[in-house]
Structure 1
Amino acid sequence: MNSLQPIDFIVFLVYFVIVASYGYWVYNKKKKAAVTASHDYFLAEGSLTWWAIGASLIASNISAEQFIGMSGNGYFVGISVAAYEWLAALALIIIAVWFMPVYLKNRIYTMPQFLKTRYNETVSLIMAIFWLLLYVFVNLTSILYLGAIAISGLIGPEYLHTVMLALAVFALIITLGGMKVIGYTDVIQVAVLIIGGFATIYFALTIVSEKFGLGRDAIAGFKTLMQHSPEHFKMILPKPDAATVSAATGGDVAAQNTIDKYLILPGITMYFAGQWIVNLNYWGCNQYITQRALGADLQTARKGILFAGFLKLMMPIIVMLPGIAAYVLHTSGNLPGLRGMDDAYSAILGFLPSGLKGLAIAALTAAIVASLAGKLNSIGTIFTLDIYMKYFKKHDIHAANTARAVAAEAGTAHVEKTTDSDEKQMVWTGRIVALVAIILAIVFEWKDFLGIGGKGGFTFIQEYTGFISPGVFAMFILGMFWKRTTGAAAVAGLLTGLAMSIFFKLYAVPLFGHETLLYTAFPTIEDGKQVWRIPFLINMGWAFFFTMLVMVSISLAGPRVNPKAFVLDRQMFKLKPSVVAMIVTTVLILTAIYAKFW
């Protein structure tokens, strides 16, 4: 089932040659542009169209964590995991309308720069270090590991480390060209991703149809999924009752599975808690994502972000339905030997015919490589612009500026020569940092030291990112729209968000019990022992609430208008008819989806 034929390798090779050739052409073309080397490498300033921005956002976002992790959660929980994707479409509307005007008017190029401009140097440095650690030890490691698991599942488990290295090298090659190369090759990547993804789910549904004696009919296959697993097609999971909790504490596996699903996606309550924090922080306060739009003008950035939101509506079909198909096939005895939920997607790919299997691997590789390349570029951008140039090259920059001033007075050409040298040094610093980051990720995931495989890839990323998301989002939202917010409040907010996230995960239940006005804890199994946990999305919601409370309290002790507050005006947020039309279309589609699967 998992063997590849020559046609599969040919299809994959064609994909690789097209992406590499196009990337090389874009790289050579950009050398003739008038944009400075560093801004071209880090931001692709002014050169990405709205459709390139939108495609790049999706290609960088949809990676192994979705294809493997979300498909695995689709296998385990069902369609409710699509809330991450579908609410992202609404979050992107908010980002396009309200966040981007603030960023672009104040010429913000990195997220630490935002924090320095709005607050102070201390907040900026703390968060730059936080983001670098998060990107390397949570995001890069999980993307590499899950991607290698998926592809090696098709070509043979013994090739796990070979695949990991190949993905890392491919991503580094694209990263060397900078954000412009990443942005435009992502257009090809997302096209391959969508075509290969839809082809995969089409054949998955026809396989389900065939296995249940209904012929090769994708629609019949989808109806079969709904008939044989109706609980997998509910957006809102019910809260486990006392009987279920009692059964789980007594060792009932089915009851424990019900509780574990709720711990991942806690029903309607998650829509009033962490789900919004996850999406708004990820899409609006994340260098890795916002970087694609920061080099564009406002209208181009808005259309690109809204286009990405429209594409997000389709993503659950591609990345989640294969997991549900794997669940129905496995429980009906047609998919024996499935090792775990993170193997669901590769198990479905194993059914595909020759040629299409190669396209599916190309789609998966496109998602993984695009995400890795974008993440590596963001790591290089933050380190170079917010740490290296500020703290390691500070003296050199001062000396260079003095030399430029003297040369300018003398009428010599020393100004341009020094500037070119600085620009090249910045670009090469970014490239070296990217190389070091990917090496660290490989080292930590060579033997899965972080335990991603045991927790489930998608949940691993969401939970551990959630430790800093409440504090970060509180800093950004108050910093943008409340003029009274102070730098001291920002530092306190960051520390409060982290402390409260840890408190609710580890200490709230032992101190206050399983049931309080703030939360309900449930039993689960960790490292072979039964422990009581609060759903992590609820933890995030309360951590955000207390962070906001602390920041507002501290800021009230300061001036009525902070000197570093941004100047906002209504004209910044005015929308063109074309933008309004895109927003209305997205909202109507989303409303129809929730009405159908509530």
Structure 2
Amino acid sequence: MGSLKSIDLVVFLVYFAVVTFYGYWIYRKKKKESVSASHDYFLAEGSLTWWAIGASLIASNISAEQFIGMSGNGYFVGIAVAAYEWIAALALIIIAVWFMPVYLKNKIYTMPQFLKTRYNETVSLIMAIFWLFLYVFVNLTSILYLGAIAISGLIGPEYLHAVMIGLAIFSLIITLGGMKVIGYTDVIQVAVLIIGGFATIYFALTIVGEKFGVGRDAIAGFKTLMQQAPDHFKMILQKPTEASSQSEIDKYLILPGIAMYLAGQWIVNLNYWGCNQYITQRALGADLNTARKGILFAGFLKLMMPIIVMLPGIAAFVLHENGGLQKEMLDASGTVNQDQAYSAILSFLPNGLKGLSIAALTAAIVASLAGKLNSIATIYTLDIHMKYFRKKTKETEGSGAEKSMVWIGKVVAFTSIAIAVIFEWNDLLGINSKGGFTFIQEYTGFISPGVFAMFILGMFWKRTTGQAAVVGLITGLVVILFFKLFAVNIFGHETLLYTAFKNSKGAYEIPFLINMGWSFFFTMLVMIGISLAGPKVNPKAFALDKEMFKVSPQILAMIVVTLLILVALYVKFW
């Protein structure tokens, strides 16, 4: 990869300085306000505007796994991977209208608190511990490693560990300022992310246009992509047959056509956006109208994200298939690696713009790391430490307790990022071999069905019991592991419930999004069956009324615009 020029370094340093000084200004300003120290640090209670909430949601969501992992899947599969982004826009409408009123009316600040309030202490503790492990060993590690791979690919692979440490330190500095600093610096981060992302794809398309003799024209370049790789512009993949190639089968295993919309795709998005501390935390300190506007604004931004994070992968595929990017697509072992697609495209950018693109990448990575670190600190401090390790004395009450909670949160954040660096120093978790985006989706998907079943039944069915929640969580994990590891050996590769296909290693595999769908289905059956044996109305059930779910004309207009764009996209690329 080409080295950076002075202008690239200047552009990057300007970005770094603006984020740092703006974050410090926000930090100094918030210290003068009267919000309690702990609520300000963990929730930025009442101080984030709707546009800050929406921008922060996107900045925290779009990270290395999208820029690198989704671009890699764009290279391999094509536009079908955009389903994760576009269905997210629809999921955010559901979250804004139906989930947020339940959270805010019941003053829910953390997801374990929801489980304790609705079920019991046991469910809350189990999930608090699990979320901490998931956030540290799946999310933090993958974001940090993929981000370091991408940036070091541009400045030199020998800088991998230096970049990793730099990203860790930068994100930790922002995290120490608390959620308000994270929320408002995320506005800058998402602006840099979008500007840099669009600039990158614009130049990528002009390069494609020039390569195929249609001129340095982005629109002509996009049309060329559609002509050169028509299969990469189909949202719905066809189910493989005996005549299908191994490549077609491997694509279907990741994104199993129309079936995924009836199974795991909904669980992935509704669980991620609605039952995830990392995401919901941004809106839980706001009033309902502000929270809804912020979430819907994020949904609108999600519609354009595939252009930034997926389309470069298709451009890299077309260029590579036609003799370009031969060295750029190789990893350290000398083999073609789909996760190299985004950094391969960046290598062609002119001086100055390359610095902006690295700033955009850094913005996405740092925003996600900072948000994740704050969520880890929030869950540990509020749901574990203050309940089970805090000494109940007068000295721990009042302002002393507030400062202690913030200090504990900062220590937890530092410890978490240090663990992530240690585990990804030599990629101990094997993220690189699996493909970054698939790694996150699959391992998160092991418990997503059980967690989502607990939340959806807990919110909207008053009969759901704590015992059903515990059994449901275990059932979801057992079922998905059964389908992944044992079902094919016991029932064969073709049943009424699934079709398994031979993967590239020669073993039969069921698409993991199908596994998630059946895991959710059987978990719901078990939870409903157990709850029917209990009281007709659980004493801990939430009080719901129709007024909670009414939306203002402004909110309704935002929903309609999002739906119209979404329908148009699917009609175009079906």
Query: One-letter code of the match for 1:344?
Result: A
Task: Report the counterpart of residue 255 of structure 2 in structure 1.
Answer: 265
Q: Give matches, 1:427-442, under 5 Å.
A: 427-442=406-421
Inter-partner Cα distance in structure 2 for 1:375 and 1:256: 37
Task: Report the counterpart of residue 87 of structure 2 in structure 1.
Answer: 87
Inter-partner Cα distance in structure 2 for 1:114 and 1:520: 37
Task: Report the counterpart of residue 533 of structure 1 in structure 2.
Answer: 509
Inter-partner Cα distance in structure 2 for 1:370 and 1:56: 8
Task: Report the counterpart of residue 47 of structure 1 in structure 2.
Answer: 47
- The 3-state SS of whatever aligns with 2:398 is helix
- The 3-state SS of whatever aligns with 1:565 is coil
Inter-partner Cα distance in structure 1 for 2:384 and 2:480: 27
- The 3-state SS of whatever aligns with 1:242 is coil
Could you tell me which of 287, 292, 303 is aligned with 1:302? 292
Inter-partner Cα distance in structure 2 for 1:487 and 1:501: 22
Inter-partner Cα distance in structure 2 for 1:362 and 1:544: 39
1:290 aligns with 2:276: no
1:386 aligns with 2:387: no
- The 3-state SS of whatever aligns with 1:563 is coil
Deviation at 1:501, TM superposition (A): 1.1
Deviation at 1:213, TM superposition (A): 1.4
- The 3-state SS of whatever aligns with 2:506 is strand
Report which stretch shifted further, 79-88 or 213-222.
213-222
Inter-partner Cα distance in structure 1 for 2:314 and 2:209: 14
Could you tell me which of 524, 533, 553 is aligned with 1:577? 553
Task: Report the counterpart of residue 123 of structure 2 in structure 1.
Answer: 123
TM-score normalised over the length of structure 1: 0.94
Deviation string 1:240-265 (CA, Å, 9 cap, x unpaired) is: 01232xxxxxxxxxx11110000000
Could you tell me which of 437, 457, 464 is aligned with 2:436? 457
Deviation string 1:290-348 (CA, Å, 9 cap, x unpaired) is: 00000000000000000000000000000000000000000000211212100000000
Inter-partner Cα distance in structure 1 for 2:128 and 2:479: 21
Could you tell me which of 511, 535, 538 is aligned with 1:559? 535
Q: Alignment RMSD, CA only? A: 0.8
Could you tell me which of 438, 454, 458 is aligned with 1:475? 454
Inter-partner Cα distance in structure 2 for 1:241 and 1:44: 53
Inter-partner Cα distance in structure 2 for 1:444 and 1:518: 38
Task: Report the counterpart of residue 334 of structure 2 in structure 1.
Answer: none
Could you tell me which of 301, 325, 328 is aligned with 2:318? 328
Report which stretch shifted further, 103-112 or 235-244.
235-244
Deviation string 1:374-395 (CA, Å, 9 cap, x unpaired) is: 00000000000000000001xx
1:550 aligns with 2:550: no
Q: Give matches, 1:93-112, under 5 Å.
A: 93-112=93-112
TM-score normalised over the length of structure 2: 0.98
Deviation at 1:362, TM superposition (A): 0.1
Deviation at 1:418, TM superposition (A): 4.2
Inter-partner Cα distance in structure 2 for 1:476 and 1:134: 18
- The 3-state SS of whatever aligns with 1:530 is coil
- The 3-state SS of whatever aligns with 1:123 is helix
Deviation string 1:438-490 (CA, Å, 9 cap, x unpaired) is: 11111111111111101100000000000000000000000000000000000
Inter-partner Cα distance in structure 1 for 2:278 and 2:464: 25
Deviation string 1:126-151 (CA, Å, 9 cap, x unpaired) is: 00001000000000000001000000
Task: Report the counterpart of residue 512 of structure 1 in structure 2.
Answer: 491
1:590 aligns with 2:569: no
Inter-partner Cα distance in structure 2 for 1:314 and 1:38: 35
Task: Report the counterpart of residue 425 of structure 1 in structure 2.
Answer: 404
What percentage of aligned pairs have identical amino acids?
80
Deviation string 1:386-435 (CA, Å, 9 cap, x unpaired) is: 00000001xx23x32xx8xxxxxxxxxxxxx9411100100010110011
Following TM superposition, the consecutive aligned residue runs of length 4 or more in structure 1 with deviations greater than 3 angstroms are none
Report which stretch shifted further, 436-445 or 578-587.
436-445
Query: One-letter code of the match for 1:477?
Result: I
Q: Give matches, 1:139-178, under 5 Å.
A: 139-178=139-178
1:503 aligns with 2:456: no
Query: One-letter code of the match for 1:82?
Result: A
Query: One-letter code of the match for 2:127?
Result: M
Give the gaps of 5 or more residues in structure 1.
Answer: 245-254, 404-416
Inter-partner Cα distance in structure 2 for 1:439 and 1:31: 28
Inter-partner Cα distance in structure 2 for 1:548 and 1:36: 40
Task: Report the counterpart of residue 367 of structure 2 in structure 1.
Answer: 370
Inter-partner Cα distance in structure 1 for 2:97 and 2:273: 13
Q: Give matches, 1:486-501, under 5 Å.
A: 486-501=465-480
Inter-partner Cα distance in structure 2 for 1:60 and 1:576: 27
Deviation at 1:216, TM superposition (A): 0.8
Task: Report the counterpart of residue 314 of structure 1 in structure 2.
Answer: 304
Inter-partner Cα distance in structure 2 for 1:511 and 1:164: 44
1:523 aligns with 2:502: yes
Inter-partner Cα distance in structure 2 for 1:588 and 1:530: 43
Query: One-letter code of the match for 1:312?
Result: K
1:446 aligns with 2:425: yes
Residues paired across the two proteins, number: 567
Deviation at 1:494, TM superposition (A): 0.4
Deviation string 1:149-190 (CA, Å, 9 cap, x unpaired) is: 000000000100110000000000000000000000000000
Inter-partner Cα distance in structure 2 for 1:160 and 1:507: 39
Q: Give the number of the structure whose alpha-carbon radius of gyration is greater.
A: 1
Inter-partner Cα distance in structure 2 for 1:101 and 1:353: 48
Could you tell me which of 356, 371, 383 is aligned with 1:359? 356
- The 3-state SS of whatever aligns with 1:137 is helix
Q: Give matches, 1:387-402, under 5 Å.
A: 387-393=384-390, 396-397=391-392, 399-400=393-394
- The 3-state SS of whatever aligns with 1:314 is helix
Query: One-letter code of the match for 2:294?
Result: G
Query: One-letter code of the match for 1:30?
Result: K
Inter-partner Cα distance in structure 1 for 2:17 and 2:358: 15
Inter-partner Cα distance in structure 2 for 1:294 and 1:369: 22
Q: Give matches, 1:116-265, under 5 Å.
A: 116-244=116-244, 255-265=245-255
Deviation string 1:554-583 (CA, Å, 9 cap, x unpaired) is: 000000000000000011001000000000
- The 3-state SS of whatever aligns with 2:381 is helix
Query: One-letter code of the match for 1:429?
Result: I
Inter-partner Cα distance in structure 1 for 2:78 and 2:353: 25
Inter-partner Cα distance in structure 1 for 2:2 and 2:462: 59
Deviation at 1:74, TM superposition (A): 0.1
